[in-house]
Amino acid sequence: MGERVAIVGAGLAGLAAATALAQRGYDVAMLEARQRLGGRASSFTDAASGQILDTCQHVSMGCCTNFSHFCRTTGIAHLLEKQADLWFMTPDRRVSRLRADALPAPLHLAASFLRAHYLSPMDKLRIGWGLHCLRRTPAEDDGPFLEWLQRHWQSPRTLARFWGLVLTSALNESLERTGLRYARKVFLDGFLGHRRGFEVEVPRVPLARLYGVELQDWLTRHAVRVRLGCAVRRLSIEEGRIDGIELRNGEKVQADHYLVAVPFERLLDLFPDSAMARESYFSGLHNLETSPITSVHVWYDRPVLKWPHVVLVDCLGQWVFARGEVAAGEHYLQVVVSAARLFQGVRQEDIQRRILEELARLFPIAASARLVRVRVVTERAATFSVVPGVDRWRPAQASPIANLFVAGDWTATGWPATMEGAVRSGYLAAEAILARRGQDERLVQPDLARSEW
């Protein structure tokens, strides 16, 4: 057997590292506090219906090359469905479709963009200029993006109907709080760099199934030992090295390398003394902030949407996803509100009412359909916040302690908090473990080739 790696946390970061290391002969054990894989990309059983619901719809994009590689490697890619057209709806119920045409990137979306009914010709000129200038900003610039937009000829309408519309859901942060670096990344990598970059992929099945049996089988076939319901209490340090893990049940686990892939808010609790928190490597974590996401789950007695999803322009909800007939006479859809601070302190019934009223205004069938059920789920710390300069607080995967590594969407990946970012962090952590043994292997997948323009 190869060297032993203990991975704490079986979210996508831990899972990606496990797949990479198991394929390279490491003896991998995963310790996960919950009774399931997938971490924040998760489902739960709805008590009212017994149905398995995703906490929130998860979407990936064509530019997520590492997430896609992970899904192909573990044999779960067939559970994702590509939605190559994006549908945009305004409060007057008019709909525009964004679709790539025959032109090469970055012009592949130009025809759809020029037809978009919710932007005036002047808006389109402003946005075109903004994108041109954005492409010319150095990748490392990370000042406040809103100020940058205001300096680059953008109007309140283009802020609301284009920049904010795209970024709030892509980054789970409001325009006012977003830094230039990740805003630039969304537009360049997601929309302009490659004709497939913007294509949305949505799981056909609940996340519990996506990161369920198939993935578990793959791990078993590759001799990864997964211990669910196995919470780690702390890691002990002796003479500058991690010398073991203590589980909450008192059991001790030892390995050659330790990879901690828990959310950043949990990391420092796992170390024995507060001195760790003062190490400069970890101290930036105190500065990371989080951003909430609210999803409203609605069941009607008939189908309400004719599209697989709709992006809502100038509305309270941001995306609506049609999830089909999940039980006889129960047509399920989910409305997602990212960076949902506006709901702080608002009663669930009020959130429900406002979203249902909006659905009834936008989709007349919803007004006459029977509402079967509705449920609001808010994840208060859904993702870390991509505020200007956030990268200076994100640690690299190799820690100053020789046999300790970290992974998670919050580590230094060059990506915002996404499934792609989490998988990248896992691959980067695996690269760092290989490098400590003198093996120089690149596991992170290349980006989609960006066209020169």
Ligand X SMILES: Cc1cc2nc3c(=O)[nH]c(=O)nc-3n(C[C@H](O)[C@H](O)[C@H](O)COP(=O)(O)OP(=O)(O)OC[C@H]3O[C@@H](n4cnc5c(N)ncnc54)[C@H](O)[C@@H]3O)c2cc1C
Beta strands in 173-277 (DSSP E): 200-203, 225-227, 232-238, 241-247, 252-253, 257-260
Window 22-61: residues binding ligand X (CB under 6 A): 31-34, 39-41, 55-56, 58-60
Q: Which stretch binds ligand X (CB under 6 A): 74-82, 351-359, 364-372, 412-420?
A: 412-420
> Among candidates 316, 335, 338, which has minimal Cα distance to 385?
338
**Could you say whether residue 422 binds ligand X (CB under 6 A)?**
yes
Residue with smaller CB distance to ligand X, 170 or 369 = 170
> Among candidates 386, 304, 292, 374, which has minimal Cα distance to 341?
292
When binding is defined by CB under 6 A, the residue of 28, 340, 408, 443 that contacts ligand X is 408
State the minimum distance, in angstroms, from the CB of residue 208 to ligand X: 13
Task: Find out whether 256 and 248 touch, Cβ atoms under 8 Å.
Answer: no
**Could you say whether residue 79 binds ligand X (CB under 6 A)?**
no
Window 284-303: residues binding ligand X (CB under 6 A): 293
Q: What residues are paired with 258 via a beta bridge?
A: 6, 404
**Could you say whether residue 266 binds ligand X (CB under 6 A)?**
yes
**Could you say whether residue 406 binds ligand X (CB under 6 A)?**
no
**Could you say whether residue 232 binds ligand X (CB under 6 A)?**
yes
Residue with smaller CB distance to ligand X, 144 or 203 = 203
> Among candidates 318, 280, 307, which has minimal Cα distance to 400?
280
Task: Find out whether 326 and 269 touch, Cβ atoms under 8 Å.
Answer: no
When binding is defined by CB under 6 A, the residue of 8, 134, 235, 315 that contacts ligand X is 8
Site string for ligand X, 86-125 (x = CB under 6 A): ----------------------------------------
Residue with smaller CB distance to ligand X, 60 or 154 = 60
Measured on CA atoms in the order 85, 91, 93, 96, is the torsion positive or negative? negative
Phi/psi of residue 211, nearest 5 degrees: -105, 40
When binding is defined by CB under 6 A, the residue of 190, 203, 263, 395 that contacts ligand X is 263
**Structural tokens at position 409:** 């969407």
When binding is defined by CB under 6 A, the residue of 109, 149, 419, 443 that contacts ligand X is 419
State the minimum distance, in angstroms, from the CB of residue 20 to ligand X: 14
CB atoms within 10 A of CB 350: 11
DSSP states along 258-318: EEE-S-HHHHGGGSSSTHHHHSHHHHGGGG--EEEEEEEEEEESS---SSSEEEESSSS--
Q: How far apart are CA 39 and CA 419, in angstroms?
A: 10
State the minimum distance, in angstroms, from the CB of residue 73 to ligand X: 16
Chain residues binding ligand X by CB under 6 A are 8-14, 31-34, 39-41, 55-56, 58-60, 231-232, 261-263, 266, 293, 379, 382-383, 408-409, 417-422
